[in-house]
Amino acid sequence: MKESSILQINHLKKSYEDGLAVLKDVSFSMEKGEVVVIVGPSGCGKSTFLRCLNLLESVDSGEILLNGKDILKDRKEAYAVRQKIGMVFQSYELFPHMTILENVVLAPCLVQKREKAQAVLEAEKLLERVGLLEKRDAYPRQLSGGQKQRAAIVRSLIMHPELLLLDEITAALDPEMVREVLQVVLELARDGMTMLIVTHEMEFARAVADRVIFMDGGCIVEENAPEEFFQYPKSERAKQFLNTFHYEALEI
Amino acid sequence: MQSLGMQVLFQGTNFLRLLQGLWVSLKIAVISMALSILLGIFLGIIMNSKKKWVKALCRIYLEIVRIMPQLVLLFLVYFGASKHLGMNLSGELSAVIVFTFWGTAEMGDLVRSALISIPKHQYESGYALGMTERQVFLRIIIPQTIRRLIPSIMNLLTRMIKTTSLVVLIGVVEVVKVGKQIIDASRFTTPSAAFWVYGMIFFLYFAVCFPFSKAAAILERKLRD
């Protein structure tokens, strides 16, 4: 384990109540400022893995070290831990009864007890950055999917997380809106945000990742640099998986 | 003017008395409803408990309210309390107790299902921001639940206003009873009084209930997300 690891996971295991194993001994680590993309077929446990990191799921055994401290040890610390680990979901989940600005400033004021005026100022700055400043007083239902997802990213960012988890954030979007969201993520990566990303957008994965992890059947099957992984995957299963993204005209 | 019975409505203080009767009905309904909303929110939260015996207890309560006609409940509380518990409850208080008992059950069931209908992810995105369970509940879940419930609350309120007509039978003088008194008093002078008095009562109920159902419809349209 290197000194600078922001996140270190040792032998993480989880199974559902019916005994079905979702995560079978997952170990891996991340450096500060690194962007790691997890790809893999549906049901391979990649989303569950992210949810475990944010303590939304319980685990059977293993360690999750955030800055060297095991976050699984003390469940009472969960609230403090989640402030350091931001998470954005597939279905955006903005709070429908609040305006965009209220959505963004709720947690800083309530959880971090920051001053409202200061939080609003920062929220406006962040909203401007993702091109949503003019929507500050709109309600989530008045926004497009892409706009909602950008607002959800801002809602996480304002908490100044040390690590951002993105769980298939474009999976529910219409194709023409995927780009505007991924553009924001690319900019964050450029600014040095530490991110762990689950996605099905292979082009995007290739562009944003420092490292790609391929998961299948609850295990990490392959870990590789993006160019290597997409061009010359080492494992047979990764090859098969990547092939499913290629289409060739059927010969008749 | 003998043929027109309408003037009976405006003889002496008749009209004022009708309004006072209406006020009694409205008072019982609104107080009961306010209590029902408060208690019903608690009940709804409790009903989602995972404990089996809590669920069973709530179930029994709900079934009792469903099976028993409100009139039987009124008799039970009004006469039962004085005969068996030695408590002399006023008719109005008994009515409020019964209507709250009924309303809490209905509200509880509504709150329970509204709480279930809030997607799990709403809780999770609150937690993911570092909020505690309490904060998530008070700031995210409850406000959304109440919004969803507004139409049903209005509906229950109008049903309660209408059902207050039963309280005549435990001696509360509300609008229907006042009407009856007016009709009886003018039986010989104005035989057609019944038509006018009950007609007026019809409009009074309408005037009270209509704004509530209208408001419910508007809110329902506005809060759809």
pLDDT the model gives residue B1 = 46
DSSP codes joined into one string, B66-81: HHS-HHHHHHHHHHHH
pLDDT above 60 for A112: yes
Q: Provide the chain A residues 125-144 that lie in CB contact (below 8 A) with chain B.
A: 139-141
- Minimum-distance CB partner of A141 among B119, B129, B225: B225
State the Cα–Cα distance between residues A8 and A77, nearest whole angstrom: 18
Query: How many Cα atoms are found within 13 Å in the side-chain-facing hemisphere of A202?
Result: 14
Residues from chain A contacting residue B126 (CB–CB below 8 Å): 95
pLDDT tens, residue by residue, B21-42:
889 889 999 999 999 999 999 9
Residue contact B130–A107, C-beta within 8 A: yes
B122 vs B142: CA distance, rounded Å = 11
Q: How far apart are CA B221 and CA B213, in angstroms?
A: 12
- How do residues A127-145 score in pLDDT, each as one tens digit? 999 999 999 999 998 999 9
For residue B214, what are the domain limits?
2-224
Dump pLDDT digits (tens) for B58-68: 999 999 998 88
Helix (H, G, I), strand (E, B) or coil at A23: strand
Chain A closest-CA separation from residue B118 CA (Å): 11
CATH of the domain at B170: 1.10.3720.10
* The pairing of beta strand A211-216 with beta strand A195-198: unpaired
Which tens digit of pLDDT belongs to each residue from A17-69?
A: 787 888 888 898 999 999 999 999 888 888 899 999 999 888 888 889 888 88
pTM of the model: 0.79
Distance CA B26, CA B21 (A): 9
Confidence band for B225, pLDDT divided at 50, 70 and 90: low
Q: How confident is the model at residue B216 (pLDDT cuts 50, 70, 90)?
A: confident
Q: How many angstroms separate the CA atoms of B95 and A132, rounded?
A: 54
* Domain count of the fold of chain B: 1
What per-residue confidence (pLDDT) applies to B10? 77
Residue A35 CB contacts under 8 Å (≥ 6 apart), including other chains:
A189, A193, A194, A195, A197, A208, A209, A210, A211
Q: What's the Cα-to-Cα distance from B41 to each of A51, A144, A188, B95, B115, rounded to whole Å? A: 31, 33, 43, 21, 10
Cβ-defined contact of B129 to A80 (cutoff 8 Å): no
What interface predicted TM-score (ipTM) does this complex get? 0.87
CA atoms lying within 13 Å on the CB side of residue A64:
24
Q: For residue A106, name the pLDDT band (cuts at 50, 70, 90).
A: very high
Residue A164 to residues A28, A35, A84, A119, A200: CA-CA distances in angstroms?
A: 16, 10, 8, 19, 18
Which chain B residues in 83-142 lie under 8 Å from chain A, judged by CB atoms?
Answer: 119, 121-122, 124-132, 135, 139-140
Three-state secondary structure call for residue A61: strand
* B208, B22 Cβ separation under 8 angstroms: yes
- The C-alpha atoms of residue A4 and residue A239 are separated, in whole angstroms, by 32
Top-confidence residue, A2 or A229: A229
Q: Is the distance from CB of A40 to CB of A241 less than 8 angstroms?
A: yes
Q: What is the pLDDT of residues A155-182, one digit of tens each?
A: 999 999 999 999 999 888 888 888 889 9
* Distance from C-alpha of B70 to C-alpha of B49, rounded to nearest angstrom: 28
Does the pLDDT at position B193 exceed 90?
no
